[in-house]
Chain A
């Protein structure tokens, strides 16, 4: 068994356009006056063909339409892409085909079409459960619109998840308790809860650097918010299976698990990353970020990829380590050793376990609840000699 098979095989497709750019967002997303969906369709299909030739016969577990705002794609485009994928790779019986959706009115009308195209799961960016904060996040929709969109989606898909951003400006612990309570009433079986991150190169980062963007929570408050989140979600039967992802056991996002479990995934679209094991070498792929250039290159029959890099044993170990410790299921010690060629530093593991940051079973290493909150520091300790 090749190592990637522990995680499975998926396909990520990036749609780089949005209606407007949110001030906190550092995704490869752009606002464009006109989008030629036909041109994109031809390009995506060409890329699927190119990737298919490199990984023939592989059993595909999942497809993910991410963005940007993929719910702005024409349902026909989504259908054509899914058809071509099905024609290229054999798929599992009940493949997970997720599409990221914004709760805007434009998109809602397309949900049925996405369902007919083959989409099985929607992940919706609701972000906040009060209108004032939605505005401060630069979102164009209201809570009422989001609830309506969510209802429509539920009517079309068995599996609907949504995202919230918390630890926002001037958000108190009590306000978050109330907001999360509402979210849990709405949630079905999956929920992503992200603490607001000020990402380099965003409008928020600019404002922050200039001393604006006041009222962000202190480290202590954001720790308390995180703890509260775990407590309320546990009680609601949606425990965290990953740092920011909660699900009823069995309803986890299979696609995202591929990343965290170190599976292979094909990346298609501008800026998309992939990991492909070919003849025992694991390649990191990355496409050119600019949507216009990407499209131009694919149109011209060229590969839009940046030079691929072959991951060394050390890098493979490192990636597996930093992804798997995010999961409650943790890291398989044998697998790590097999991948990287060396075992993790036993003394460091013991020190971190004594501090209550890690726990170990015969086969696995886990970050404890305390360890997960300071996972970056735990990883630093483990990898930085």
Chain B
């Protein structure tokens, strides 16, 4: 157990790519937590998908020891957090476990949308904030200007911001000193009943369910019998460790400490992020306030390509949701796709990441249906229904009007690209709320329909601004608009998984884009295939995929029989990645690709 005043717990927060994970690397390296030969760049980003995309998706905790200038050795628990807006829940959750934040700002980019969002969250969590200006090695770095910007835009005193280059290691000793001198130690009472916050949990193939806790009061020891206060489930602790970042066993965890335990937990549902854990006997009576549940804003159906994989998918989803409390699921059945799940996400990237993780970590091929938001259907009988899935849209005659979620979007962008950004927002039915400047950067606030943003708004924004814009949003309200359900018919058969809600004025354009896309995505068949977009019985866009004209092997002699046979066998397997709609086979990629729009 460590003395409280020798502990510092903090999160590293920043806009995406400002260098959080690289800073974490340096802190780990300079304190000798990991041997030099085991270091690699962004070492905490351990998932394949994080390394491929070069971004952090999951918050990661590491315990390091730092011998400070005052001659005492401190225990630091750092949490590296993701920067992308879709993973903001990871950040807010992490912040509840610590007392301070290092606010990293890229000294060549300055304050971005997520910088602002993170500051508000940190203040909300009662954090001390230490501003850190990173990437001062870059020729384009302007630390003085950015320091001023932080004061002007955020209203945070940046006069003693720490100047660093996380890449070269410059300034890292100052960061370590700032952590111990400027961030507060945790509070807590060793003699009070155990009160631990369940911060995170995940499924490990060897250890089973692993639970991460922050001890608020009391002491947790190996062998203790503990109770999850929300579910009342009781478990005996088998293994108690800290993360350095690999697991190192420890005899006990006291107030202010962060660690993990395993307890042969069978019911994945028993570990709820934000829950309070106490001792089975003489436990605390009052639970911690818990975390605000995440509000999923984008929904889609996930179906196994192979219907026999449904049980595996259920199991995989259960394990994954353990690791990601911001993703919600319920069972769904589709006429075309069979059994699957309707899942809710915090954004499109979040959706893609979960789908990827399910496919890779659990080896299940999935079909993803069109992403959608939740519409509110005001029925003629006065009731209000939530519509999560356009396929469930009731007959129009019962509906009085439809409301859709609107968001308040904050976009920061260099002046040069402002025109393109305004045009993009306008095209997506946006209403401009505010426009202000901080130097040559503009900050625009738009009121936008969420439905228009879940498509490829973020990708488009990146491409029209060459990556220089940053974006943050929050849900503002539900508002009525002229919304209709657009269905897609392939060879005269409706494909429920491709139907979507659209604004009436945008239906033709969206319908046209969809049928053109699908024409490219569906392979030619032996017959021609009409592809149509329709509102009710009215066709608003139509394309025809012409029939295949030639597909025959030119040479086939004695030695080719085996080869040809193998090819057919492969095609048999490939067919699993196709879905049959009437006589037409649609490759599963079509379901998601069809929705990425180019304009």
A positions within 8 Å CB-CB of B = 12, 194-197, 219-220, 222-223, 226, 243-244, 256, 259-260, 265, 267, 271-275, 284, 286, 315, 318-319, 322-323, 326, 351-352, 355, 357, 372-381, 383-385
Contact = CB atoms under 8 A, between A and B. Distances in A.
Given A243-B552, A273-B558, A322-B561, 19 more contacts: A194-B555, A197-B553, A197-B555, A223-B549, A243-B553, A243-B556, A244-B554, A256-B557, A259-B561, A273-B559, A284-B562, A318-B568, A319-B561, A322-B565, A373-B549, A373-B551, A374-B548, A374-B550, A376-B553
A384 B568 contact: yes
A384 B572 contact: yes
A380 B552 contact: no
Nearest to B553: A376
Interface string B522-551: 000111000000000000000000001111
Nearest to A197: B554
Contacts of B549: 219-220, 222-223, 373-374
Given A319-B565, A322-B564, A384-B571, A377 B557 contact: no
18 contacts: A260-B556, A265-B558, A267-B558, A274-B558, A275-B561, A322-B561, A322-B565, A326-B556, A352-B526, A355-B526, A355-B527, A373-B549, A373-B550, A374-B550, A375-B553, A376-B552, A376-B553, A380-B568
A315 B565 contact: yes
Contacts of A219: 548-550
Contacts of B571: 380, 384
Interface centre among B526, B554, B556, B558 (most CB of A within 10 A): B558
B558 A275 contact: yes
A377 B526 contact: yes
B572 A383 contact: yes
Nearest to A320: B561
Contact of A323 (B525, B527, B556): B556
B575 A273 contact: no
A383 B568 contact: yes
B526 A378 contact: yes
B564 A374 contact: no
Given A355-B527, A357-B526, A384-B571, A377 B551 contact: yes
A318 B565 contact: yes
A376 B558 CA distance: 18
A189 B518 CA distance: 48
A383 B565 CA distance: 10
B554 A195 contact: yes
Contacts of A377: 525-526, 548, 551
Contacts of B561: 259, 273, 275, 319, 322-323
Interface of B: 525-527, 548-559, 561-562, 564-565, 568, 571-572, 575, 583
A374 B554 CA distance: 11
Contacts of B565: 315, 318-319, 322
A275 B560 CA distance: 12
Nearest to A309: B562
Contacts of A381: 526
A199 to B, nearest CB: 9
Given A272-B559, A374-B526, A374-B548, A194 B554 contact: yes
Contacts of B559: 267, 271-273
A256 B558 CA distance: 8
B552 A375 contact: yes
Contacts of B575: 384
A317 B241 CA distance: 61
Contacts of B556: 243, 259-260, 322-323, 326
Which 4 pairs, one residue from A and one from B, show the smallest C-beta to C-beta distance?
A223-B549, A223-B550, A273-B559, A375-B552
Contacts of B548: 219, 374, 377
B557 A374 contact: no
B572 A374 contact: no
B572 to A, nearest CB: 5
A362 B550 CA distance: 28
A374 B558 CA distance: 21
A352 B527 CA distance: 10
Nearest to B567: A376
A312 to B, nearest CB: 11
Contacts of A357: 526
A379 B568 contact: yes
A11 to B, nearest CB: 11
A378 B547 CA distance: 13
Contacts of B558: 12, 259, 265, 267, 273-275
Nearest to B546: A220
A244 B550 CA distance: 13
B339 to A, nearest CB: 20
A271 B568 CA distance: 22
A272 B562 CA distance: 12
Nearest to A323: B561
A32 B571 CA distance: 37
Contacts of B572: 383-385
Nearest to B556: A326
Nearest to B558: A259
Given A380-B571, A383-B572, A384-B572, A374 B552 contact: yes
A381 B527 CA distance: 13
A256 B561 CA distance: 12
A161 to B, nearest CB: 14
A379 B526 CA distance: 12
Contacts of A220: 549
A375 B526 contact: no
Nearest to A322: B564
A61 to B, nearest CB: 14
Nearest to B561: A319
Contacts of A223: 549-550
Contacts of B568: 318, 322, 379-380, 383-384
A322 B552 CA distance: 11
B569 to A, nearest CB: 9
B544 to A, nearest CB: 15
Interface centre among B552, B564, B568, B583 (most CB of A within 10 A): B552
A180 B526 CA distance: 28
A372 B552 contact: yes
A116 to B, nearest CB: 27
A318 B562 CA distance: 10
A259 B562 CA distance: 12
B44 to A, nearest CB: 38
A231 to B, nearest CB: 15
Contacts of B562: 273, 284, 286
Contact of B551 (A273, A352, A375): A375
A284 B551 CA distance: 27
Nearest to A194: B554
Contacts of A326: 556
Contacts of A375: 551-553
